[in-house]
Structure 1
Amino acid sequence: MTTPRDTPASRRVRANGDGTVYQRKDSRWEAAGYVLAPGNTRKRVRVYGTTRKEALAKLTEKIATSNRGVPVPSAQGSLAAYLTYWLQNVAVHHLRENTHTRYATCIRLHLIPGLGAKKLARLTARDVRTFLDHLRITCQCCTQERDIDRRSCCTIGQCCDKRLSPLTVTYVHSVLKSALEHAVREDDLPRNIARNVKTPSPRPRRFQPFTASEARQFLQAASGDRLHALYELALRTGLRKGELLGLHWEDLDLDAGTANIHRSLQRTRTGGLTTLHTKTRASERRIALPTECVHSLKNHRERQQEERRAVGARWSDSGLVFTTPTGGPLDPANLTRRFGRLLRRAGLRRIRFHDLRHSTATLLLEQGIDLVVIKELLGHAHIGVTAGVYAHVRLRLQRQAIDTLGDALGTGDDDPDDPPAAVVVR
């Protein structure tokens, strides 16, 4: 008579509903069990692992998800059904709300109309490549029937040929890769076929930051503005718009001249103006404030106290540094409009508010500041991001260095500053 201890691990009896685990002939471990499927049905799923513990953990996770009432997507279903499931049950827990909204728009406008009818299990790299190629050359007014109500452009036979930018096509591809990657992790697909499709790298978005003279002109024009401290802080430190608007007085130490950046003010579809965490974990940082910013912030605090006394009980105590005249948070869109009006008054060319951040980095690079210091100031996750975004500046600095070397090498043969021929430069 055998006891449970004598029974091999691969043949031990598990309780009803826990599934089965056994070792295959190829030495891998396979676990199988029944889970909830779309349509309130039950489906037998199989997962694999290099060890019994790994396979069992995967199956246990699927059964636990099923017990919470979340159906497991079927690889036999359409890509449209899977993308809908992924958005509602997976991506919603891992993405910021605005990012999730952009993903949903991308799936609704492009992925479902173009690939949604395909079976998830039968989707091929050729399907994805054909879809992306078609997306690049298709007029979006015609595809999405945008002009039906206005009876213009495409509806009257005069196609405007409004195509997606290469950057948007790359974004659509990245959303599809993210969705299929989850299907691979859940063993619904053997591999992520979207990763096998290579798309040309889009050209980096061009930006025209302020020159040093334009930056001085901008600060001079902003000196009399109610939000002068905000504009100065943006140009001298490179903070993002959301980081500036989400700054609280408790985040500042004006005596020590430092600021803790760990919040961002964003407008979301469901919550309106909402304070969120910064863009990435690397964006949470402590920066040194320039002396000019400390002075302007102190003046701004005094002005805010005067506004608070003026409105009395109508003041909304949000604790924010930059507020409306009644203490409420500033809307990012309103700040953009104020910034545009300021540029027009100053007689400066039109740039985006985010280009103030690019101006900060560009001017620092041109002053010879190390790339690592700029990366920490801007809050980039990796130094490669900083180096990639400002490659054009580094190229210009290389040109200046080469020209300087050319001036040195172009001196006469009898120059007394020439080093001896025997000197080895290392």
Structure 2
Amino acid sequence: MPGRTSPPEPAYRRASAEGSAATRPRSRHQLRENTHTRYTACVHQHLIPGLGKKKLAKLAAKDVRTWLNQVRTTCQCCARSIDAGRDQPRCCAAGACCSKRLSPLTLAYIHSVLKSALEHAVREEEITRNVARNVRTGTPRPRRFEPLTADEARQFLAAVRNHRLFALYELALRTGLRKGELLGLQWEDLDLQKGTASIRRTLQRTQTGGLTVLPTKTRASERRIALPSECIQSFKEHREVQEGEREAAADDWRDNGLVFSTRAGGPIDPANLNRHFRALLDRAGLRRIRFHDLRHSTATLLLEQGVELIVIKELLGHAHIGVTATVYAHVRLRLQRDAIDLLGRTLRRSDETTSQPDDRDEPPPCAAPIR
């Protein structure tokens, strides 16, 4: 803010900048902490129990294929003794297996972690080849998402119009920013005069550092986007509300420079935002969707309006246009059907026109150009 002294470095940002346990694994493995945590869980829950007794040099593609088939068909409650720790057993410990099996997406993820680990062993010359590459698990279907329709989107914006975080929900729906990108946005990232926002960071909760500001997900995610005029006005109103909260909090205010903060100026926990979002959906009388589905809603509505795929890719911050094309393939297929139906109606009208008797010698009227 103009005329204000530079605020002290916030605690949640220091956690990512100092030599904490969160930064040391990330610098050594070139991985985010949450990614490293998921890899570790996958190794301990699946790879070690299934392949841990097999010597690396003697591991064959047949071993990997047999193990993956076993993981695919085994109830996870039985395999990991999950039911034994429950207060009221309802699966293997109760004598009635629930047959809870891993999804194809999870199975493909486990396979990819194994391939990555063996590829590292090849680079370190511990083994000569990556046998996991010779095993095919099939292409899993992408996750199903239920984006808001245009009518539902308008209904949602009307329902949250008086909410203190209306600017956040409107920005999410109109630009498709990720949840962490929204929560990590700072006032210095906004240029309301030019109507742009610079996406430089993301706010995430990690096991060791708590709420931590990290760089964007990929290099392509670091981008500058154009702000809709409605969002510019919402930001101005939101800043006035935040200034009122700053005065009310007085000495308890935590000046982190965040656009979207708690009433005391602190960062908003992503889990809390999810809970508030579900409550707002119920209040608006809308079906339950994930917060991330607002991002899918943005892309779907833009595609349905005929916006080019490359523009949507840049707006969403996808690393490759193939990601955008794959995720929204079903939308593009529907648009293709609409285009084919439109052409069919045009051809039928043309046939009907030529089939009718016309005593005049004038040429038939030209069809309107289709854009």
The question of 1:166 aligning with 2:73 is answered no
Q: Give the TM-score normalised by the residue count of structure 1.
A: 0.76
Q: Does 1:221 align with 2:159?
A: yes
Contact 1:91–1:100 (CA<8 Å) still a contact in 2? no
Tell me whether 1:295 sits opposite 2:228 in the alignment.
no
In the TM superposition, 1:48-59 aligns within 5 A as: none
- 1:334 matched to 2:269? The reply is no
| Post-superposition CA distance 1:86-111 (Å, at most 9, x none) | xx989952210000000000001001
Shift of 1:156: 2.0
Give aligned pairs, total: 332
Call closer, same or farther: CA 1:92–1:128 in 2, change over 3 Å.
farther
Letter matched to residue 78 of structure 2: C
Give the distance between the partners of 1:189 and 1:406, measured in 2 at CA.
59
Match of 1:379 in 2: 317
Identify the match of residue 122 of structure 1 among 39, 58, 71.
Answer: 58
Q: In percent, how many aligned pairs have the same letter? A: 69
- 2:198 maps to 260
- State the match for 2:15 in structure 1: none
Once residues 271 and 258 of structure 1 are traced to their aligned partners in structure 2, the CA distance between those partners, rounded to angstroms, is 31
In the alignment, the residues of structure 2 paired with residue 172 and residue 159 of structure 1 have an alpha-carbon distance, to the nearest angstrom, of: 23
Q: Is 1:200 aligned to 2:138, yes or no?
A: yes
Alignment of 1:181-330 (within 5 A): 181-330=119-268
Shift, 1:339, TM fit: 0.2
TM-score, normalising length from structure 2? 0.87
Amino acid at match of 1:250: E
Match 1:137 to one of 73, 90, 94 = 73
Q: How far apart, CA to CA, are the structure 2 residues paired with 1:98 and 1:272?
A: 11
1:31-62 C-alpha deviation (Å, 9 max, x unpaired): xxxxxxxxxxxxxxxxxxxxxxxxxxxxxxxx
Counterpart contact for 1:260–1:287, Cα < 8 Å: yes
Aligned to 1:8: none
1:31 corresponds to which residue? none
Distance change in 2, residues 1:279/1:378 (3 Å): same
Deviation at 1:417, TM superposition (A): 3.7
Partner SS for 2:155: helix
In 2, the alpha carbon distance for the partners of 1:153 and 1:354 equals: 32
Task: Give the aligned residue type for 1:97.
Answer: E
d(CA) in 2 for partners of 1:152 and 1:353?
Answer: 31
Corresponding residue for residue 82 of structure 2: 146
Judge conservation of contact 1:92–1:100 (CA < 8 Å) in 2.
no
> Greater strand share, 1 or 2?
1
8 Å Cα contact 1:361-1:374 kept in structure 2: yes
Per-residue CA distance 1:244-271 (angstroms, 9 max, x = gap): 0000000000111000001000000000
Give ranges in structure 2 of 5+ residues lacking alignment: 1-23, 357-363
- Assess if the C-alpha contact under 8 Å between 2:61 and 2:131 holds in 1: yes
Where does residue 338 of structure 2 map in the other structure? 400
Contact 1:247 1:321 in 2 (8 A): yes
1:103 aligns with 2:39: yes
8 Å contact kept, 2:202–2:214: yes
User: Using the alignment, how far apart are the partners of 2:101 and 2:303 within structure 1?
Assistant: 36
Deviation string 1:189-233 (CA, Å, 9 cap, x unpaired) is 111111111111111111110000000000001101110000000
Deviations 1:72-130 (A, max 9, x none): xxxxxxxxxxxxxxxx9899522100000000000010010001110000000010111
Corresponding residue for 2:359? Answer: none
Structure 2: how far apart are the matches of 1:128 and 1:418? Answer: 64
Q: How well do the aligned residues superpose, as a CA RMSD in angstroms?
A: 1.5
Tell me how far apart the structure 1 counterparts of residues 313 and 44 of structure 2 sit (CA, whole Å).
Answer: 36
Displacement of 1:149 in angstroms is 3.1
Offset of residue 170 of structure 1: 0.3
User: In structure 2, how many angstroms separate the alpha carbons of the residues matched to 1:196 and 1:93?
Assistant: 26
* Greater relative CO (CA pairs within 8 A, separation 6+): 2
The residue type paired with residue 386 of structure 1 is T
SS at 1:286 equivalent: strand
Secondary structure of the residue aligned to 2:85 is coil
The runs of 5 or more residues in structure 1 that have no matched partner are 1-87, 420-426
Shift in CA distance, 351/316, structure 1 to aligned 2, threshold 3 Å: same
Q: After superposing the two structures, state which structure 1 stretch, 142-151 or 284-293, moved more.
A: 142-151
Whole-Å Cα distance in 2 between the matches of residues 152 and 208 of structure 1?
31
Q: Quick one: distance in 1 between partners of 2:152 and 2:333?
A: 22
CA distance in 2, matches of 1:90, 1:116: 25
- The residue that corresponds to 1:60 in the other structure is none
For 1:90 and 1:179, the matched residues in 2 are separated by 17
